[in-house]
Amino acid sequence: MNSPTKRELEKFSNEHYTFINQIFGDLTVREVIEEMNPQIDWRFEVEDADEAFENSNHHVLIKTLKNGKIVKWCSVDEGLQNILVNKNDTLCQSYSLLKFFNKPLAIDDMKEIQSEMVRMYKELLKQRKFKEELCGMLEIMQEKIENGEEADDTIWKDHTCDTKPPLLMDINTLYHNILLVLEKWEKFGYLYFIKDGSSYKK
């Protein structure tokens, strides 16, 4: 495809945050992934990030060895995520999922690593159990909103809108939107996370 416009990349960034970062960085969603894969030793953990990451959450992995020692895996420490090089790289939840599933990470190509992320998410979405769990979470969010709990941080927001309203949709619509974002990510969205994210048409 031709180079995307600045507006297309900005729109993609909001869609990606809404349907990828927010959902797959959700602690309950990550607990579901752990429960579905009990044979994996790694566990998801969240650390407070510094001002370099706008004081948001930073996703890492931990595991306890037989001798009781705790090992941590961090995308920044591993040199995979460096916002001084790729200023929009907020993909720690995706890096940690790649590591969790033992997907290729020794790739000296930011575009190819992101392609691995897209493939990983598509594989995850095909799992029936995962879809059932997400459906249940959407129903719980609906109940909270009906009970007047719109401000609850556990309710996903639609960051494609300026007002960031609750993300209310049925599971099939949610899946449709996630897959659309994954398609955009693979076609041109990866550019947003590389260097200064300005590889677009003037």
Q: What is the pLDDT of residues 137-176, one digit of tens each?
A: 999 999 988 888 766 677 999 999 999 999 989 999 999 9
How high is the pLDDT of residue 50? 63
pLDDT of 201 over the 90 cut: no
The predicted pLDDT at position 57 comes to 85
- Asked if residue 156 is part of any domain, the answer here is yes
User: Is the pTM for the entire model greater than 0.85?
Assistant: yes
Mean pLDDT within 162-191: 96
Residue 71 inside a domain? The answer is no
- What is the overall mean pLDDT for the chain? 92
Question: Is residue 78 included in any domain, yes or no?
Answer: no
The whole-angstrom separation of Cα 11 and Cα 160 is 7
Q: Is 29 contained in some domain?
A: yes
CA distance 70 to 48: 18
Higher-pLDDT residue of 22, 154: 22
pLDDT in tens, 78-120: 999 999 999 999 999 999 999 999 998 987 899 999 999 999 9
CA angle 132, 135, 137 (to 5 degrees): 115
Q: Is residue 56 part of a domain?
A: no
Provide the domain limits for residue 161: 6-41+84-193
Number of domains in the chain: 1
Alpha-carbon dihedral 76, 82, 86, 92, rounded to 10 degrees: 10
CA distances from 171 to 1, 24, 131, 151 (A): 30, 15, 8, 22
In a domain, 47, yes or no: no
Residue type, 195: K
Among candidate residues 198, 183, 200, the one with its CA nearest the CA of residue 15: 183
